[in-house]
Structure 1
């Protein structure tokens, strides 16, 4: 997939809704033991890339140094479901203090009152964080209204061809 195709999909209203929703992403990577891992995690979207922040000594940081390929899913709980699938490569950067994008990501999932206390707490806790920047190289938006999973669409087409 080229960057133009990715940008077109990420600009669609349902994709924007998911990227800025008050919900975590499901972040997957390959652990050092070779097994898959999926964790819910907050993120900041800068218009092109997703930024995730974590503790420098976390298991995911160690694993991503070994294998930087990742996948994320952003979805809804309602019906019909809306799903944004993202694959890409993670870049890691150690940063001093608490990056502003981490604070912005937190704002999405809590009230203003909660955010004030949380912000002070994380600033007191973290001397440094690792910024995980995911640049998408493949995306798919499934909204079950205008776009179905390929296997479901193939099944519908086959049934319709049978008459």
Structure 2
């Protein structure tokens, strides 16, 4: 996988990508707000094999911004050492849902366990609740772990010489 270039969707099959997609690290969703300024939100996520999915409450400014400008970037990473990083780019698709989004329950259970996940979803069950599902199908994938892959596609030696 070290010879696969950054941006190639085959990197989704790499150990780095699988580790991050299976992790309970927060994903950071970057998008452009209605006022044209960038935003980054740490969010729980679920990888369903083809999309990275987020759930949020309906009627928020971020949903309007995502509908207006659906191109997003996502990072899932560990602090390390060494850091391990998965970078994704794609277009967000937003769907509003009456009640608790099934993906919200899936995320809560994945991050906090079955009992706590059920409890968190049950606490939200109220008439009139609207949630939204944000799904991003990756169009670009990048990975680095500072052991087998380095930022910018550099080799370990090239990375060590940077700035000199």
Which one of 78, 81, 94 corresponds to residue 79 of structure 1? 81
Q: Which residue of 2 aligns with 1:43?
A: 45
Partner of 1:90: 92
Provide closer, same or farther for how the CA distance between residues 154 and 116 of structure 1 changes in structure 2, counting only shifts above 3 A. closer
- Equivalents in 1 of 2:86, 2:28: separation in Å? 11
Q: Superposition pairs for residues 53-72 of structure 1, below 5 Å?
A: 53-72=55-74
Deviation at 1:46, TM superposition (A): 0.7
1:135 to partner: Cα distance: 1.2
Structure 1 residue ranges (4+ consecutive) displaced by more than 6 angstroms after TM superposition: none
1: CA distance between counterparts of 2:44 and 2:117? 14
Task: Deviation per CA, 1:85-122: give whole Å up to 9, x if none.
Answer: 00110111122222222111112322444323212113
Shift of 1:77: 2.2
Q: Normalising by structure 2, what TM-score?
A: 0.84
For 1:66 and 1:118, locate their aligned partners in 2 and report how far apart those are by CA, in whole Å.
30
Which residue of 1 is the match for residue 136 of structure 2?
Answer: 134
Equivalenced residue count is 156
Instruction: Indicate conservation of the 8 Å contact 1:24/1:41, yes or no.
Output: yes
Give the whole-Å Cα distance in 2 for the aligned partners of 1:19 and 1:146: 18
1:13-32 deviation line (CA, Å, top 9, x unaligned):
22111112112101110011
Q: Does 1:25 align with 2:27?
A: yes
Q: Which runs of 5+ in 1 are unaligned?
A: none
Higher share of residues assigned helix: 1
* 1:144-159 correspondence to structure 2 within 5 Å: 144-150=146-152, 153=155, 156=158, 159=161
- Residue in structure 2 matched with residue 34 of structure 1 by the alignment: 36
2:91 is equivalent to residue 106 of structure 1: no
SS in 1 for 2:75: strand
Partner Cα distance (2:118, 2:76) in 1: 26
Cα displacement (A) at 1:68: 0.6
With normalisation by structure 1, the TM-score equals 0.84
